Structure 1
Amino acid sequence: MMQKMIFGRYLPGNSFTHRLDPRSKLVFVFLFIVAVFLANNTVTYAILLVFTLLVIAVSKIRLPFLLGGLKPILFLVVFTLFMHLFLTREGAVLVEWKFIKIYEEGLRQGIYISLRFLILVLMTTVLTLTTSPISITDGVETLLNPLKAVKLPVHELAMMMSIALRFIPTLMDETDKILKAQLARGSDISSGTIQQRIKAVIPLLVPLFVSAFKRAEDLAVAMEVRGYRGGEGRTRFRKLHWQAGDTAVMIVFALLCAVLVYFRA
């Protein structure tokens, strides 16, 4: 499962979304996260879901591939649904069986919050799949450039964000390798009591942390050997260009917000 984890990975392509300026994609996703909270009824959530599916289609990413790579996160979506379903006790009782009661408000809130979570995860994953880590770094650094006036280390922050994003799939692959090695040695973390499972996880975490620190040290040495001293005096090989498509994306987002506001309850 961890090998199929796609969050943080870059999927090369030539779709409309791939060709957009990373700055427009970052601004769009950030504003989209805010706009999601405008939805408060069935119509607005349906609009957001349809819009998200259209973005996935324009990006030329297969939905089964996307959902298959997000299985660990989809578990949290389902967990959120059940938490609201059984813990929210408002409105009329829809289902009553022994000690289990499902209320109308619990069902509604569970669906809405789960959809909100799912839409946010899908949209941010589309961003990482269609934007290389280097482009994300350049986009973040450019957008944060005004903060240099208050002595904020913008270049270093952007670099750290990019490295952290890049290390997500790497650590997932490393975890999968260690897990398979432990299973080959007879370790079992899927059965037994909670205490036994916790003890079985320790042999997995220790080599994972050792590997992560070793990779971080190798990266630091490599950057130092190549003369990396921060962003001062550095030039860019890749120039960012804001094009008509990026402006069109901002216009479409403004129209989306107007539609959401119009259909709000």
Structure 2
Amino acid sequence: MNPVAKLAAVLVIALPLVVTIDPVSAATALVLEVPLLATAGLSWRAFWTRTAPVWIAAPLVALTIALYGQTSGAVLFEWVFVRVSEGSLLLALATGLRILAIGLPAVVLFATVDATELADGLAQLVRLPARFVLGALAGMRLMELLGDDWRALALARRARGVADHGRIRRVLGMAFALLVLSVRRGSALATAMEARGFGGPTPRTWARPSRFHVRDALLLAYAALIPAAALTAAILTGAWHPVFA
């Protein structure tokens, strides 16, 4: 699918869920997202590996809110600064489910997005300035080199015998060296792109045309159905709790 359609789908799913914090809307959205997650093209191993931070963050945040959240209803447990009540448990459940409902589709849909295809879509379909899009794409490509540069710096310092003592000092020195190297490489890349006409005022052409297809429209339609059904369920069950009320 077109990366722009995936980006739009994530926004369509997430933004309506931000306006309310209740377990019904979040749970409904999470259930409706299961077919979307199952057909995203990720293996089970890749799915659990990539979404592990979301699965870890959701219960931790829910636990924190349950122990220290706003107290309402009957108090079930109290000790020093910890106060667990019916309201804090309900709020913790709603928060945990909402993190999963917003985070899982965002991670899964972008797991297979190619940066070049996303840049093509943003420039051709969304009509963002080509200069900005191509500069951001070049920066993202250079980010992949930071790990290799860090390892090369570590090996060079070890070969010179200056990496055996003072771990904090060594890390700070390597970070500064990596910053200098990144600035120099970025300046060289910017000059090379200017020399090739990337910053010219004339309309540019694109080697890879980016278009919307029927499958992209179906993705957006299903993405719009998820928050609509979730918010409707929350209103009909009386669980609707707007954040800005």
TM-score tier after normalising by the smaller chain length: 0.7 to 0.9
Aligned equivalent of 2:151, options 155, 174, 177? 177
Amino acid at match of 1:81: A
Aligned equivalent of 1:37, options 7, 18, 32? 18
Aligned partner of 2:85 in structure 1 is: 103
In the alignment, the residues of structure 1 paired with residue 124 and residue 98 of structure 2 have an alpha-carbon distance, to the nearest angstrom, of 29
In the alignment, the residues of structure 1 paired with residue 87 and residue 225 of structure 2 have an alpha-carbon distance, to the nearest angstrom, of 30
Aligned partner of 2:49 in structure 1 is: 68
Matches within 5 A, 1:52-201: 52-69=33-50, 77=58, 80-91=61-72, 92-145=74-127, 154-171=129-146, 173-174=147-148, 177=151, 185-186=163-164
Q: Give how far 1:187 is off.
A: 6.3
* SS of residue in 1 equivalent to 2:99: helix
Q: Give how far 1:234 is off.
A: 1.0
Q: Give how far 1:26 is off.
A: 2.4
Runs (5+) with no aligned partner, structure 2: 240-245
Aligned partner of 1:226 in structure 2 is: 196
Contact 2:119 2:133 in 1 (8 A): yes
Contact 2:55 2:100 in 1 (8 A): yes
1:217 aligns with 2:187: yes
In the alignment, the residues of structure 1 paired with residue 153 and residue 29 of structure 2 have an alpha-carbon distance, to the nearest angstrom, of 38
Q: Give how far 1:136 is off.
A: 0.9
Q: Give how far 1:31 is off.
A: 1.7
* SS of residue in 2 equivalent to 1:229: coil
Aligned residue-pair number: 230
1:250 aligns with 2:225: no
- Structure whose CA Rg is larger: 2
Tell me: CA distance 1:217–1:77, structure 2 relative to 1, closer, same or farther (3 Å).
farther
Amino acid at match of 1:155: A
1:45-69 deviations in whole A, cap 9, x for unaligned?
1232234443232122134434434
* SS of residue in 2 equivalent to 1:130: coil
Contact 2:68 2:81 in 1 (8 A): no
Tell me: CA distance 1:209–1:44, structure 2 relative to 1, closer, same or farther (3 Å).
same
Query: Which region of structure 1 is more displaced relative to structure 2, 133-142 or 115-124?
Result: 115-124
Tell me: CA distance 1:83–1:179, structure 2 relative to 1, closer, same or farther (3 Å).
farther
**Percent of pairs with identical residues:** 22
Structure 1-normalised TM-score? 0.68
Aligned equivalent of 1:47, options 24, 28, 39? 28
In the alignment, the residues of structure 2 paired with residue 94 and residue 221 of structure 1 have an alpha-carbon distance, to the nearest angstrom, of 65
Aligned partner of 1:150 in structure 2 is: none
* SS of residue in 1 equivalent to 2:211: coil
In the alignment, the residues of structure 2 paired with residue 50 and residue 140 of structure 1 have an alpha-carbon distance, to the nearest angstrom, of 30
In the alignment, the residues of structure 2 paired with residue 78 and residue 179 of structure 1 have an alpha-carbon distance, to the nearest angstrom, of 38
Amino acid at match of 1:235: T
